Amino acid sequence: MRVGLFVTCLVDLMRPSVGFAALELLKAAGCEVVVPQAQTCCGQPGYNSGDRAAARALALKLVGEFEDCDYVVVPSGSCAGMIRVHYPTLFRDEPAALERVRRLSARTYELTDFLVSVARLDAPPGEFHGVVTFHDSCSGLRELGVQRQPRALLARMPDLTLVEMREATTCCGFGGTFAVKYDDISTRMADKKCAHIDASGADAVVACDLGCLLQIEGRLRRRGDHATMVLHVAEVLAGEEGACG
């Protein structure tokens, strides 16, 4: 099974350890992993900012780079959702391109969804001692139905305890450029998330999207919480937390 790993632009720039953790996990699940070197961004910032042309150009670029893989796996629900759900709408009026895009979209998975539904990873290689709470990232949850998969994987880690926080499925307020354009609203949304994390008493908050993690960690630290770890699910599952290559 040849799997193309799309690490996403945010992981590439801000947190390479997530990419390596994903690599680890896919290998542990028995996949042959390739990382196309020309990959950049899925086009989501342009798409959500109303720049359809930019989004289409980047979509075609990505499709070309991953076409020869059996699957595309992405350690991000929102980028996976972009490819799986939104790419086809970008080309809905062009049958030829649409056909090609659809073929790739249908083979694209969010990482934990892939590990559970396709690769059937039984034993995550990592170790984690402590209590974690899980934040459901919006696109993964509502566009791809990622909810049970990351929890199922975390449940397979013997020393990890999962406690649910209140309103785990409420948006953390990141929203890409929203976080900067409407920073006051965005920060207030993060505040509520932080309060729920705090109340859960967990040692770490875990999510499937780096955007949410930057938002949550950024606000937790500013609020003076330097203790709660903020981790990508891949880092926990692979035992790569904090490692940077």
Partner 1 sequence: MRLEAVQFRRKAAEALDNERLQRALEKFPSRFVDTRAAALAELGNTEQLRDAAADIRARTLRDLDAWLRRFERAAAARGATVHWAEDADEANRIVTEIARAHGVRKAVKSKSMVTEECGLNEYLERQGLEVIETDLGEYILQLAHEPPSHIVAPVVHKSKEEIAELFEEKHRKPRKDDIAELCREAREELRPHFLGADMGISGANFLIAETGSVLIVTNEGNGRLVTTLPRVHVAVSGIEKVVPTLEDATTLLRLLPRSATGQAITNYVSLLTGTRGAGESEGPEHCHIVLVDAGRSRMLGTELEPMLRCIRCGACMNHCPVYQNIGGHAYGWVYPGPMGAVLTPALAGIEQALDLPNASTFCGACSEVCPVKIPLPDLMRHWRERQTEQRLRPRRERLLLRLWAWTALRPRLYAVVARAVARLLHGLGGSDGLVHRLPGASGWTRGRDLPAPPGLTFHALYRKRRGA
Residues paired with residue 34 on neighbouring β-strands, in sequence order: 4
For partner 1, the closer CB: 218 or 239: 218
Give the per-residue contact string, 175-214, with partner 1 (x = CB under 8 A; - = no). xx-xxxxxxxxxxxxx-x---------------------x
Measured distance CA(106)–CA(104) in Å, rounded: 5
Residue 231 sits in the site that holds partner 1 (CB under 8 A): no
Give the per-residue contact string, 6-45, with partner 1 (x = CB under 8 A; - = no). -x-x-xxxxxxx-xx--------------x-xxxxx-x-x
Measured distance CA(242)–CA(16) in Å, rounded: 10
* Of the candidate residues 84, 135, 196, 219, the single one contacting partner 1 (CB under 8 A): 219
Enter the tokens of residue 225: 């919480």
Q: Choose the stretch contacting partner 1; rule: CB under 8 A; options: 51-59, 110-118, 198-206, 231-239.
A: 51-59
For residue 203, the tally of other CB atoms under 10 A from its CB is 18
* Of the candidate residues 1, 30, 32, 51, the single one contacting partner 1 (CB under 8 A): 51
Q: Segment 147-176, which members bind partner 1 (CB under 8 A)?
A: 167, 170-171, 173-176
Q: Listing from the earlier edge strand, what are the strands of the sheet with 71-74?
A: 32-34, 2-5, 71-74, 108-110
List C-alpha distances in Å: 137 to 115, 167, 213, 232. Answer: 17, 12, 10, 11
Residue 61 sits in the site that holds partner 1 (CB under 8 A): yes
Q: Choose the stretch contacting partner 1; rule: CB under 8 A; options: 97-105, 134-142, 149-157, 195-203.
A: 134-142
Give the per-residue contact string, 81-120, with partner 1 (x = CB under 8 A; - = no). --------x-------------------------------
For partner 1, the closer CB: 37 or 96: 37
The least CB distance from residue 139 to partner 1, in Å, is 7
Whole-angstrom Cα Rg for the chain: 17
The least CB distance from residue 156 to partner 1, in Å, is 26
The least CB distance from residue 215 to partner 1, in Å, is 7
The residues that touch partner 1, with contacts defined as CB under 8 A, are 7, 9, 11-17, 19-20, 35, 37-41, 43, 45-52, 54, 57-58, 61, 89, 138-139, 142-143, 167, 170-171, 173-176, 178-190, 192, 214-215, 217-219, 221-222, 226, 230, 244-245
